Chain A
Amino acid sequence: MYPSRFGYELPKTVEEAVALLDAHGGEAKVLAGGQSLVPMMRLRFAAPEMLIDINGIEALHYNRVDADGTVHIGALCRHEELEDNPAIAKAIPTIAAAAPLVADPIVRTRGTFVGSVCHADPQGDWAATMTALGGHIVAQGPKGKRDIPIADFVIGPFQNTLAFNEIAIEAVIPAPKGVRVGNYLKLERRVGDFATASVAVSLDMKGDTVAYAGIALAGVGGRTINANAAASALVGKKLTAENIASVAAAVAAVAEPRTDHRGSADYKRQIVKTFVERILTGLLNTSQKAA
């Protein structure tokens, strides 16, 4: 399959890229990793008139952990750079757990974290992870930068709130309130399949008490499912078998799965419940072992 014709620009700075987007008035699309966009263009499901390739903006190629634990992921940080990354694994275990489950190993060398969040695929791993972590996106437009909380950024299937002349230049995950633990589980039929259901869990622990709890889901609704409200029942408490079970049930109730060839709505809820239980029980067991 072959894409339609388009124009191509390769800016060297974010300012230049923003100016190009602005000049093309909504007909241009940003090309970062291209691992979703290019296949869609090949199938001619997408046919942008202009591609602004930001891969030349080397300044966007980073991930770093601040002294206080805040994590910054630049727009050109590839998925694989978050795998086997000790600093990330320590700062955000949920990202370390999800990274190897994104697409397949070859796609991960090229696809980007921020691009995946922007793509806002309801089955996407990173939009769910960001939601559980309560992060935000830094967008840059002609008038400068603004922070967009993830809940206000991913608003529907394949919909984000960037203006046509804005670029998401960075994802930021705030410093933890204590020690951050977490995990990510995904049910896929084979490597690279879309998720039947995925669960991202991130907790900040002060001693054995939960100081922050975030849970988000992929594949079980027409958009990324934010289950942070259900998860917050754990805040201020110790993990117990009882509250794990009740949170798992509450999270499953928040899911909005639809019956399709990957399974019935009830089945997907069951997977969500099971995965939440397994993750939280795993975290409980680990903390007990550590103690």
Chain B
Amino acid sequence: MTSLYDEVQAAPGAGVPTRRVTIKVNGDDRTVDVEPRLLLAHLLRQGLKLTGTHTGCDTSNCGACTILFDGRPIKSCTMLAVQADGHSLETVEGLASASELHPIQEGFKEEHGLHCGFCTPGMMLAAKALLDKNDNPTEDEVRWALSGNLCRCTGYQNIVKSVLWAAEKMRAESN
């Protein structure tokens, strides 16, 4: 069980009501007590120690916190942790299996789709949501699907190539 910020031993404001929620995160059920105002991104990062999900802005613009919520991409800074009760989440930590990378991860490395790496987890999950629906997107479709995620370093061109690289590999694997 995890309090709001579990590195703080003295639970903040004893007496503050919390709710117990059970969330499937990357396939594992996690049960935690959370204060209603805790943002889902913060639960992932602090409570569940999944720091691959980043928060880059306060206004739901940047998409660095993008995760999959029941398979669809959402901005986890714009959802409350309590709202994830009973739902299934996938974060960047769930992309690779123990032995191999997801083709999207390989694509980002192969096509130099990242510089500082801060937007990368959100980009990759937005890309996964696209490829799950459309295994052969055009460049424009990739650009459109990623237009809720900001990157400051790459200029996007290599991110687009990374996603197309992954799509090709995924198609080859499924054949």
Task: In the complex, identify which listed stretch (A36-44, A141-149, A260-268) lies at the interface while the others stay far away.
Answer: A36-44
Q: Which of B16, B39, B74, B147 meets A109, CB within 8 Å? A: B74
Q: Is the CB of A39 within 8 A of B37?
A: no
Q: Is the interface on chain A under 10, 10 to 19, 20 to 34, or 35 or more residues? A: 20 to 34
Q: Is the CB of B78 within 8 A of A4?
A: no
**Complex alpha-carbon distance, A110 and B60, angstroms:** 12
Enumerate chain A residues within 8 angstroms of B170, measured Cβ to Cβ: none
With A3-B37, A6-B37, A191-B147 in contact, is A106–B79 under 8 Å at CB?
A: no
Query: Which chain B residue has the least Cβ–Cβ distance from A110?
Result: B74
Q: Is the CB of B36 within 8 A of A106?
A: no
Enumerate chain B residues within 8 angstroms of A53, measured Cβ to Cβ: 80, 82-83
Q: Is the CB of B145 within 8 A of A2?
A: no
Nearest-neighbour CB distance to chain A for B85, whole angstroms, equals 8
Count A-B contacts at CB 8 Å: 90
Query: Which chain B residue has the least Cβ–Cβ distance from A37?
Result: B78
Query: Which chain B residue has the least Cβ–Cβ distance from A84?
Result: B133
Q: For chain B, residues 78 to 125, give those with C-beta under 8 angstroms from any C-beta of chain A.
A: 78-80, 82-83, 85
Enumerate chain A residues within 8 angstroms of B36, measured Cβ to Cβ: 5-8, 51
Query: Which chain A residue has the least Cβ–Cβ distance from B58?
Result: A1
Query: Which chain A residue has the least Cβ–Cβ distance from B59?
Result: A39
Q: Is the CB of A106 within 8 A of B17?
A: no
Chain A 79-118 against B: per-residue CB contact (8 Å), 1 yes, 0 no?
0100000000000000000001001111101100000000
Q: Is the CB of B83 within 8 A of A55?
A: yes
Enumerate chain A residues within 8 angstroms of B72, measured Cβ to Cβ: 80, 109
**Complex alpha-carbon distance, A211 and B74, angstroms:** 41
Interface centre among B17, B144, B146, B148 (most CB of A within 10 A): B148
Q: Which of B61, B69, B77, B146 meets A192, CB within 8 Å? A: B61
Q: Is the CB of B79 within 8 A of A110?
A: yes
Per DSSP, are chain A's interface residues mostly helix, strand or loop, or mixed?
Answer: loop
Q: Is the CB of A105 within 8 A of B80?
A: no
Q: Is the CB of A2 within 8 A of B147?
A: no
Q: Is the CB of B60 within 8 A of A107?
A: yes
The reply on A281 being an interface residue by CB < 8 A is no
Nearest-neighbour CB distance to chain B for A121, whole angstroms, equals 14
Nearest-neighbour CB distance to chain A for B84, whole angstroms, equals 10
Query: Which chain A residue has the least Cβ–Cβ distance from B126?
Result: A106
Enumerate chain B residues within 8 angstroms of A270, measured Cβ to Cβ: none
Q: Which of B16, B63, B80, B129 meets A5, CB within 8 Å? A: B16
**Complex alpha-carbon distance, A7 and B18, angstroms:** 9
Q: Is the CB of A106 within 8 A of B37?
A: no
Interface centre among B59, B77, B78 (most CB of A within 10 A): B78
Query: Which chain A residue has the least Cβ–Cβ distance from B66?
Result: A106
Q: For chain B, residues 11 to 69, give those with C-beta under 8 angstroms from any C-beta of chain A.
A: 16-17, 19, 35-37, 39, 58-61, 63, 66, 69
The reply on B149 being an interface residue by CB < 8 A is yes
Enumerate chain A residues within 8 angstroms of B63, measured Cβ to Cβ: 104, 106
Enumerate chain B residues within 8 angstroms of A80, measured Cβ to Cβ: 72
Q: Is the CB of A106 within 8 A of B59?
A: no
The reply on A222 being an interface residue by CB < 8 A is no
Q: Which of B17, B82, B83, B148 meets A105, CB within 8 Å? A: B148
Enumerate chain B residues within 8 angstroms of A246, measured Cβ to Cβ: none
The reply on B75 being an interface residue by CB < 8 A is yes
Enumerate chain B residues within 8 angstroms of A5, measured Cβ to Cβ: 16, 35-37
Enumerate chain B residues within 8 angstroms of A43, measured Cβ to Cβ: 58-59
Q: Is the CB of A8 within 8 A of B73?
A: no
Enumerate chain A residues within 8 angstroms of B75, measured Cβ to Cβ: 106-107, 110
Nearest-neighbour CB distance to chain B for A225, whole angstroms, equals 26
Query: Which chain B residue has the least Cβ–Cβ distance from A106?
Result: B148
Nearest-neighbour CB distance to chain A for B36, whole angstroms, equals 4
The reply on A209 being an interface residue by CB < 8 A is no
The reply on A160 being an interface residue by CB < 8 A is no
Pairs across A and B, CB under 8 Å, 5 listed: A4-B37, A8-B82, A39-B58, A39-B78, A106-B63
User: Given contacts A8-B36, A51-B80, A105-B145, could you give 5 more A-B pairs where the C-beta distance is less than 8 Å?
Assistant: A6-B37, A39-B78, A103-B148, A104-B61, A105-B73
